[in-house]
A and B are shown apart, each in its own frame.
Chain A
Amino acid sequence: RKEVEQDPGPFNVPEGATVAFNCTYSNSASQSFFWYRQDCRKEPKLLMSVYSSGNEDGRFTAQLNRASQYISLLIRDSKLSDSATYLCAVNTGNQFYFGTGTSLTVIP
């Protein structure tokens, strides 16, 4: 079983829509969690860390569910510029694991 699993998508949504991604992890001892955004032919950039209490940054909300071992990313009011691949990452304390990424395309 992979350490981190994501639905690769693609997710094609209209502008203004709300879209959510989930990412499951297998190691229950995982300590910290992140969402990264990667544009085509560019490096991943940290979007936000994910805390137990959940956190919000503008249109983006990240949540952690330890009981079910998944993290989620919610994007409200999607913009064309949100089109990218979204990677989740999990730090077990010993190692970082990245998901394979979920592709999002926001359509005009």
Chain B
Amino acid sequence: GAVVSQHPSWVICKSGTSVKIECRSLDFQATTMFWYRQFPKQSLMLMATSNEGSKATYEQGVEKDKFLINHASLTLSTLTVTSAHPEDSSFYICSAEARGTDTQYFGPGTRLTVL
């Protein structure tokens, strides 16, 4: 149980394009989903927390207009990196907190490379 999927698992795009990453909880309902970014050999950095049906809460320094988060259902959240630039290249990982629990389960991550 508690499986979280992410799609795509990796993406290469040109500078200036937008990239959409999906995060799904496959066998449970996730009231809260989290988006993290991790640069090589660095720790997880929380970008934003999203609750189903409401606006995401962004961490300080994370541009909400650049990283658009939509949490339209209890099993799906999306992160759109708008007008991506090479400095946005990173490993983006989502996690989901199952309803009634306080445990986060992570998706397999999306490796984004912006040329």
Tell me the interface secondary structure of chain B in the complex: strand
Total chain A interface residues with beta-carbon distance under 8 A: 20
Total chain B interface residues with beta-carbon distance under 8 A: 17
A18 to chain B, nearest CB (A): 25
Tell me the bound Cα distance from A101 to B34 in angstroms: 18
User: Across the interface, do B43 and A43 meet the contact criterion of CB distance under 8 Å?
Assistant: no
Tell me the bound Cα distance from A34 to B46 in angstroms: 17
Q: A41-B91, A42-B109, A46-B105 are in contact. Are A98 and B34 (CB under 8 A)?
A: no
Complex interface residues of chain B between 92 and 115 (CB less than 8 A to chain A): 93, 97, 102-109, 111
| B26 within 8 A of partner (CB) | no
Which one, A32, A44, A91, A95, contacts B44 given CB within 8 A? A44
Name B's A-contacting residues (CB within 8 A): 34, 43-44, 46, 49, 91, 93, 97, 102-109, 111
Name A's B-contacting residues (CB within 8 A): 31-32, 34, 36, 41-46, 49, 87, 89, 91, 95-96, 98-101
